[in-house]
């Protein structure tokens, strides 16, 4: 539980220069104020001031917070002291995927409204999946090298043909764009079906047969989304969308 800090004061030393203002200093100040502290805000306005402060208090970084003459430490130390959770950079999270799919759903509704004058129609689901494909592809394209490297951990085709890891994001994004527009289905649907089919088998083998614990490359490299349900869902959505678009193109459904 957070400590009762209603009547307490804290002294915060943080970098505030004309060419740089430490973001963690601002976060520390905000955290203290939100927890009832009166903050004595001490600015370190030059490099010499920073070096002098570090040497005096034998610390390697700023900001530094002091409460009752006791040094608490930097932002993460302060958050811990106040009982406020701070996520570790290595902590598993589904937040990027939840945010992406939520935005994709809202965009699908927006497109439906603009195009059809209603908030939901048969095409809303098509737009949701195709928009999701584009957004997922964009995440991969932001750092193609990191994605391709992470992808090699589990994708069966990429492990045989390394360059496939660099092709996949373009294939996913391109297929999604074409499906959004409802054009060139003869191209977009087979491409999506092939890449998603390989992806489905790869994820299922790595996670559910071999039991490996890996990070998912579905939202690009350098993330902590676990490989498993999310990536499997991404691929199954693409497979379903590809089959649906093909059946529409061939006239089996209206």
Q: Into how many domains does the chain fold? A: 2
State which of 81, 110, 140 marks the end of a domain: 81
Do 194 and 130 share a structural domain?
yes
Do 127 and 77 share a structural domain?
no
Do 188 and 116 share a structural domain?
yes
Do 146 and 23 share a structural domain?
no
4, part of any domain = no
Do 105 and 26 share a structural domain?
no
Do 150 and 59 share a structural domain?
no
In DSSP terms, 42 is beta-bridged to 13
CATH code of the domain covering residue 45: 3.40.30.10
Do 172 and 132 share a structural domain?
yes
What is the extent of the structural domain holding 152? 95-249
Looking at the predicted structure, is the pLDDT value of residue 2 above 60?
A: no
Picking from 215, 199, 219, the residue whose alpha carbon sits closest to that of residue 140 is 219
1, part of any domain = no
Supply the pTM of this predicted model: 0.80
The span from the CA of 182 to the CA of 180, in Å, is 6
3, part of any domain = no
Do 213 and 167 share a structural domain?
yes
What's 123's DSSP letter? H
17, part of any domain = yes
39, part of any domain = yes
89, part of any domain = no
Where do we find the tokens 């939901």? 120
Which of 19-33, 54-68, 238-252 comes out lowest in average pLDDT?
238-252
Ramachandran category for residue 18: left, alpha or beta (phi over 0 → left; psi -120 to 50 → alpha):
alpha
Do 221 and 101 share a structural domain?
yes
Do 113 and 238 share a structural domain?
yes
**Residue 88 binned pLDDT confidence (cut-offs 50, 70, 90):** low
State which of 57, 81, 105 marks the end of a domain: 81
**Residue 6 binned pLDDT confidence (cut-offs 50, 70, 90):** low
**Are residues 133 and 178 in contact, defined by beta-carbon separation less than 8 angstroms?**
no
Orientation angle between helical segments 122-142 and 144-151, nearest 10 degrees: 100
254, part of any domain = no
Which of 109-113, 159-163, 234-238 comes out lowest in average pLDDT?
234-238
Do 230 and 189 share a structural domain?
yes
The span from the CA of 96 to the CA of 138, in Å, is 13
Mean of the per-residue pLDDT values of the chain = 91
Do 192 and 227 share a structural domain?
yes
The span from the CA of 193 to the CA of 240, in Å, is 8
Picking from 154, 112, 117, 147, the residue whose alpha carbon sits closest to that of residue 130 is 112
162, part of any domain = yes
Give CB contacts under 8 A, 24+ apart, made by 16-23.
Answer: 16/43, 16/44, 16/45, 17/44, 17/45, 17/46, 22/62, 22/63
Q: In what order do the strands lie in the sheet with 70-73?
A: 38-44, 9-15, 64-67, 70-73
State which of 81, 105, 120 marks the end of a domain: 81
């Amino acid at each position: 539980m957070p400590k009762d800090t209603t009547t307490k004061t804290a002294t915060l030393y943080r970098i505030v220069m004309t060419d740089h203002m430490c973001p963690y200093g601002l976060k520390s100040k905000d955290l203290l104020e939100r927890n009832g502290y009166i903050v004595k805000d001490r600015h370190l306005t030059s490099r010499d001031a920073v070096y002098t402060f570090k040497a005096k208090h034998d610390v390697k970084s700023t900001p530094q917070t002091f409460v009752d003459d006791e040094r608490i430490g930097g932002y993460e130390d302060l958050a811990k002291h106040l009982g406020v959770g701070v996520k570790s950079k290595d902590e598993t999270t589904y937040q990027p995927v939840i945010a992406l799919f939520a935005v994709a759903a809202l965009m699908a509704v927006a497109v439906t409204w603009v195009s059809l004058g209603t908030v939901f129609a048969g095409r809303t689901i098509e737009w949701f999946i195709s928009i999701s494909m584009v957004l997922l592809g964009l995440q991969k394209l932001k750092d193609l090298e990191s994605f391709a490297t992470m992808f090699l951990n589990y994708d069966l085709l990429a492990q045989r043909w390394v360059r496939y890891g660099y092709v996949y994001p373009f294939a996913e994004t391109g297929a999604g764009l074409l499906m959004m527009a409802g054009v060139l289905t003869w191209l977009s649907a087979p491409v999506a079906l092939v890449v998603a089919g390989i992806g489905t088998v790869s994820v299922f083998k790595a996670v559910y047969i071999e039991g490996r614990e890996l990070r998912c490359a579905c939202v690009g490299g350098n993330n902590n989304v676990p490989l498993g349900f999310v990536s499997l869902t991404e691929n199954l959505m693409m497979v379903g969308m590809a089959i649906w678009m093909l059946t529409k193109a061939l006239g089996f459904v209206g």
